[in-house]
Structure 1
Amino acid sequence: MEPHTDLWLAASIVAISLLLAAFFAGAETAFTAASRARMLALENAGDGRARLVNTILARRERFIGAMRIGYSIVAIGAAAFTTGVLTTVFGKSGVLYATGVMSVLVIVFAEVLPKTLAITAPDRAALVTARPVAVAVALLGPAALAVEALVHAMLRPFGIRNGERPAVLSASDEIRGQVALLHREGGVAKAERDMLGGLLDLSELTVSEVMVHRTKMRTIDADLPSEEIVRAVLASPYTRMPLWRGSSENIVGVLHAKDLLRALDAAGGDASGLKVEALALETWFVPDTTSLRDQLKAFLTKKTHFALVVDEYGEVMGLVTLEDILEEIVGDIADEHDVTVSGVRPQGDGSVHADGSVPIRDLNRAMDWDLPDDEATTIAGLVIHEARAIPDTGTAFNFHGFRFEVVRKARNRITALRITPLGPGPRKPETWG
């Protein structure tokens, strides 16, 4: 065979080897970076290539082993063949030439280029290479299994077992992280991110964290004349009003405005003869430790929207409604009768004036902050928890990257705060009066 023919044959073999190496490297990158959710959606839509991708990824270790073995065989083979040819042509110096030439060719054309193309559009690349990869895994699978068994045998003395992959994050945390990443990259709007996060939080929050506290409940004394009760119901922005007798904590029923109006209409508009307590619905008490997910299911099962929250001693702590739970998902729900105010007032200098009773979760959602709500429900509660005392008006604290200044205090309650985000730097707690 003529020398130029040998050179062409060698160049062809090297080119084919580099193409195969590029295929193995690019396929491994594409399959690893491909969206499992996207592949599952395509499979459910009837895409055979997506089903093949999911089948391959279900045995990820075998797939990666096959890709690594295939890449190593063709890359090492190409390097060895090139070294042999160049050594024949140039003698001992051919080793240096082969090393330089193959290093450039492998790094550029068998590593960086295919992986860059694959990572640019991993889903598309995985679908395009699905069938060739399946063939490669079938051919190299036995070798990959043998290598895998050898590796696990070597790792066993160190206490690393096959298949033991402890989850670092829960499924809920994985979803949160993905949503946060998509929001950062512009794929998910803030409102959508907050809604998804609120939905995931339902199992972690309890009714005591979203309830209307008993100090803010609007209730009616059942012993009042029926005319006064009617006026109180009509003046209230709420359709359900707890009735109490003797003590405000002794709830004897829940009066629905529509039931009262029906009875009033039946009586010809004469409220004096109404037996209001007989119109009241039975009171539903729920423990304060009930999760929002369980309470939502209970609301839907009982087909009611209102429950009173009690502590372990049976004392009424507040009330929770279906709207309170839905607001954890979609944000504040306001109608024409709402009289509540958010209590969050951003200022031109970047600070925020907030009522002490504002829930931390609502403040975080409104300002896109990340103040912790593990130890306290309201912003005033957070300040008291961090200060380990009830601070006086004018006292300021630095913690969690914010400056909290007590603007107003009523007896033993913080009623207003000024909150200012701090710049970068140390965030050690400081106090000054």
Structure 2
Amino acid sequence: MLEAFFSVVADYWLTLISIVLLIIASGFFSGSETALTAASPARMHTLESNGDERAGVVGALIKRRDRLIGALLIGNNLVNILASSLTTSLFLAVFGDSGVAFATLLMTALLVIFSEVLPKSWAISAPDRFAMFVAPFVRLFVAVVGPLSSGVNAIVRGILAIFGVNLSREASMLSAHEELRSALDHLHREGGFKKADRDRMGGLLDLEELEVSDVMKHRTVMRAVNADDPPEVAVRTVLESPFTRMPLWRNSTENIIGVVHAKDLLRALAEPNVEPENLDIVKIAQKPWFVPDSTTLKDQLNAFLRRKVHFAVVVDEYGEVQGIVTLEDILEEIVGDIADEHDLEIQGVRQEADGSIIVDGSVPIRDLNRALDWNLPDDEATTIAGLVIHESKLIPQERQAFTFYGKRFIVMKREKNRITRLRIRPADSVNLPAE
């Protein structure tokens, strides 16, 4: 039988060469599909801008990803089927009817190793470089097979439409912001992106989702100047404050009549014959700017830059004052906490020796997540106290404890209906006694 095999091989040498070339072509199609699918559009755009023509070809191919993949799949299946058919015919001539089984086993092994695993592993190890290498050849193939691929895709869309599945050529399952966020998280997990850099980029992406009410200083903690105070008291209030700008109110803290800038105050005091006792602070106050609490941070940032103003008073839909927002509040959402020599040292978060965290109830959830790399939700509440109230569906008592989102929350202090201090520890420490 061995002599018969070599005799057939001698007669079918052209067939053997064809099979080998078809397996190589199958590997080319598989590797090209993997590389072009995994290639970074941003990287290709950068290389194209630097004059790399092959990167431009890759970019043009992946813009019509459905047409590209369809053409590569057609080519891959075509060569696989042809290689299997030739191998089967060759083995039938040598082994008779049992040749079908031998051909199936052999081609399965060859195609899996040399047409799938090997080329795809090679391509995924360096997708950008691999994609640029194969792009010129793939472009020629897509130009020939592209119309057939488009027809196949049209048939597929028609069949899926019958079952209520609509495919869009342009629409992605993820928005551009979600794709960027996923990429940042992936790079951070892989060690290619530092946490601080990921947080800054993530904060920038959050500007369109967050509202002014999420970052404002609430009126309960707002530092303001009473216009009815004696002038020297008002001056001392401004100069002793760590803030450059302070709202000016009269009769009620919700009746904001102006904004006092420390520089304007100092300029006024520098005028001849002007003393703190005879200074009219209302005259040097700037006109207040009121903004809705539902304004997105992106829109508010643009408004700050457009108006060249750093301070705004936040009101709700009824015109009631809710708090104040500054340009620094928005920038801190991007770069993290911005501290200077005049900022207060107490930030409301303290690490204890036992691993627990003591937190003021007014600390924003986003600040905790950013500082401790937690993932507490901030959709329904802005502060950590608000989260506990939302999840517990009640106003907790002191020493009352709750467990959710993998954390144990213990109420340490409450003033009237406000939770002012909490202890937070991992949920696996629930066996520890409550405060």
Specify the TM-score bucket, using the shorter chain as the normaliser. over 0.9
Larger mean CA deviation between 408-417 and 147-156 belongs to: 147-156
- For these two proteins, the number of residue pairs brought into alignment is 426
1:269 Cα deviation (Å)?
6.1
1:235 aligns to what? 240
Deviation track 1:102-122 (CA, whole Å, cap 9, x = no partner) reads: 221111111111111111111
Alignment partner of 2:233: what SS? Answer: helix
- Percent of residue pairs bearing the same amino acid type: 55
What is the rounded CA distance, in whole Å, between the counterparts of 1:39 and 1:277 in structure 2? Answer: 59
Partner of 2:47 in structure 1?
42
Q: Does structure 1 retain, via aligned residues, the 8 Å contact 2:66–2:169? A: no
In the alignment, the residues of structure 2 paired with residue 187 and residue 208 of structure 1 have an alpha-carbon distance, to the nearest angstrom, of 34
2:421 aligned with 1:408: no
**1:168 offset after TM fit, Å?**
3.3
Return the letter of the residue paired with 1:112.
V
Distance 1:394 1:45, change over 3 A: same
Distance apart, 1:361 and its partner CA = 0.6
Q: Deviations over 1:53-86 (max 9, x none)?
A: 1211222222222212211222221222122222
Q: Structure 1: which 5+ runs fail to align?
A: 426-431
The offset of 1:245, in angstroms, is 2.0
Show the counterpart of 1:368.
373
Aligned pair 1:265/2:270, yes or no? Answer: yes
Cα separation, 1, equivalents of 2:34 and 2:303: 47
Match of 2:387 among 382, 387, 390: 382
* Cα deviation, residue 198, structure 1: 1.0
Do the aligned residues in 1 keep the contact of 2:398 with 2:412 (CA within 8 Å)?
yes
Say which SS state the counterpart of residue 277 (structure 2) adopts.
coil
- Measured in 1, the distance between the counterparts of 2:151 and 2:378 equals 51
Q: From the superposition, tell whether residues 187 and 321 of structure 1 become closer, same or farther in structure 2 (CA, over 3 Å).
A: same
Taking the aligned partners of 1:351 and 1:233, their CA distance within structure 2 comes to 37
CA distance 1:165–1:252, shift in 2 (3 Å): closer
Structure 1 equivalent of residue 142 of structure 2: 137
TM-score by length of structure 1 reads 0.92
Using the TM superposition, give the Cα deviation of residue 340 of structure 1 relative to its aligned residue in structure 2, in angstroms.
5.0
> 1:412: how far off?
1.9
Q: Tell me which of 186, 190, 200 is aligned to 1:185.
A: 190
TM-superposition CA deviations, 1:164-192 (whole Å, max 9, x none): 77643322222111111111111111111
Q: Match for 2:88 among 78, 83, 86?
A: 83
Deviating 4+ runs (over 6 angstroms):
none
1:415-430 counterparts in 2 under 5 A?
A: 415-423=420-428
* 1:203-225 deviation line (CA, Å, top 9, x unaligned): 22121221111121222222222
How far did residue 268 of structure 1 move? 5.0
- Summarize the Cα distance change of 1:423–1:171 in structure 2 as closer, same or farther, 3 Å threshold: farther
Cross-structure match for 1:93: 98
Change (3 A) 1:115 1:274: same
SS in 2 for 1:22: helix
SS in 2 for 1:295: helix
d(CA) in 2 for partners of 1:174, 1:276:
51
- TM-score, normalised relative to structure 2: 0.92
Structure 1 vs Structure 2 CA RMSD: 2.2
Give the direction of change, closer, same or farther, for the CA distance of 1:394–1:157 in structure 2 (3 Å limit): closer
Kindly provide the amino acid, as one letter, of the partner of residue 100 in structure 1. Answer: L
Among candidates 255, 260, 264, match of residue 255 of structure 1: 260
